[in-house]
Amino acid sequence: MKKTVVILGHPSNESFCAYLSERYREGAIASGSEIEKISVNELDFAPFLENGYLKEQTMEPDIKDAQEKIKWCDHLVFVYPTWWATPPALLKAFIERTFLPGFAFKYKKSKHIVAWDKFLNNKSARIISTVDTPPIFYKWIIGDPGYKMMKDILNFCGIKPVAKTYFGSVKMSSETTRQKWINRCYDIGQRD
Q: What is the CATH number of the domain that holds 88?
A: 3.40.50.360
* Per-residue model confidence as pLDDT tens digits over 61-106: 999 999 999 999 999 999 999 999 999 999 999 999 999 999 999 9
On whether the CB atoms of residues 20 and 178 are closer than 8 A, the answer is no
Alpha-carbon gap, residue 73 to 35, rounded angstroms: 9
Identify the domain containing residue 60 by its residue range.
Answer: 3-191
Chain mean pLDDT for the chain = 96
On whether the CB atoms of residues 107 and 116 are closer than 8 A, the answer is yes
On whether the CB atoms of residues 96 and 88 are closer than 8 A, the answer is no
* Per-residue model confidence as pLDDT tens digits over 45-60: 999 888 888 888 899 9
On whether the CB atoms of residues 75 and 81 are closer than 8 A, the answer is no
* Per-residue model confidence as pLDDT tens digits over 109-134: 877 888 999 999 999 999 999 999 99
On whether the CB atoms of residues 154 and 119 are closer than 8 A, the answer is no
Alpha-carbon gap, residue 21 to 189, rounded angstroms: 9
Sign of the C-alpha dihedral computed for residues 35, 41, 45 and 48 taken in this order: positive
Which residues does residue 53 pair with via DSSP β-bridges, in sequence order?
51
pTM above 0.85, yes or no: yes
Alpha-carbon gap, residue 88 to 73, rounded angstroms: 23
Domain count, the chain: 1
